[in-house]
Amino acid sequence: MDVRQLAYFLAIVDNGGFNRAARHLHLAQPSLSQAIGGLERHLGVLLFHRIGRRAVLTDAGRALIEPARQVLRDIDTAQATIASLKGLGSGVVDVVSMPSPSLEPLSTIIDRFSQRHPQVSVRVRAEPTPGPVMDAVRTGVAELGLLGAPHPVEAAGIRTHVLEAQRFVLILRPDPPITAKDHATAADLAGVSLIVGQQGTGQRQVVDEIVAQGVDVHIAVEAEHREAILPLVLKGVGAAVMTEAWAPLARTAGLRVLPLEPPSLLHICLVHRCARLTPAAEAFLDVAKTGSHPH
């Protein structure tokens, strides 16, 4: 088996087909098809069903994704470890993060990391909820994952480092009567229109728990794009329950931020596989843990 064939296989998976993968790899499609055909003959199974111009993963193809990513990760780790003997002067750290932790603490971690290791690049990809973050780490799409959950996450083969706990706050325009208070309770949200995140997010769970208490709130908007929530609040569409990571941006925009009482917390966790990390990822983890303040 050729490592190059595994890289080509994952390129087809990640780019959604042979045509896009060939363009991504700057490779002629016949050459790509030939390489995958050789891999299939070596393994003795089909990895893709060719349906017209579409390539659909077979069961064997789906089963190969995680091992293939791990092989390529192990090779990257070996190369990076040897290169690090000369000092951490290059490399890439792949991080997958949920939106709220990407504001804080990720921006601060990257700032400190970049000051210590200016030659190392950080690649950040986004996932909306803890499950996809864990999947990306488990399958080797990213070495490190940053997520927020009501409780510290645990999973087989995954190491979890709790960095901090962020409090949930209510963000709203300064004109409604509730802004006369310095905090907000569940009862204060009766009759309030809310902009919420999708199911599976910590902020949505907080709102669902308030609704379960019998508080009559109106869900005005359910937004998968977390970055759309503050503009909607500014336009007067509704208020929003978010983590305190969003508070500085909200205050800068002229919005009011009220802590929720009793407090609800989101635990910010950095996760990675139990396998050995590249030196760059180890250095990133050290920076993250040095500045963490778990509650």
Segment 274-287 mean pLDDT? 89
Confidence of residue 109 (pLDDT cuts 50, 70, 90): very high
CA-based torsion, 282, 283, 287, 290: positive or negative: positive
- In the chain, the domains with their CATH numbers are 3-71 (1.10.10.10), 91-164+267-290 (3.40.190.10), 166-265 (3.40.190.290)
pLDDT digit string (tens) for 43-54? 999 999 988 778
The pLDDT, as a whole number, for residue 71 is 87
Query: Using CA atoms, how far apart are residues 109 and 107, in angstroms rounded to an integer?
Result: 6
pLDDT digit string (tens) for 190-204? 999 999 988 888 899
pLDDT > 70 in the chain, percent: 94
Q: Which helix (H) or strand (E) holds 37?
A: helix 29-43
CA-based torsion, 191, 197, 202, 208: positive or negative: positive
The pLDDT, as a whole number, for residue 140 is 83
278 has a pLDDT exceeding 90 = no
The pLDDT, as a whole number, for residue 292 is 64
Query: Using CA atoms, how far apart are residues 15 and 168, in angstroms rounded to an integer?
Result: 37
pLDDT digit string (tens) for 150-187? 888 888 889 999 999 999 999 999 876 665 678 999 99
CA-based torsion, 168, 257, 190, 196: positive or negative: negative
* Mean pLDDT, all residues of the chain: 89
The pLDDT, as a whole number, for residue 289 is 92
Q: Which of 5-19, 24-38, 97-111, 281-295 has the lowest average pLDDT?
A: 281-295
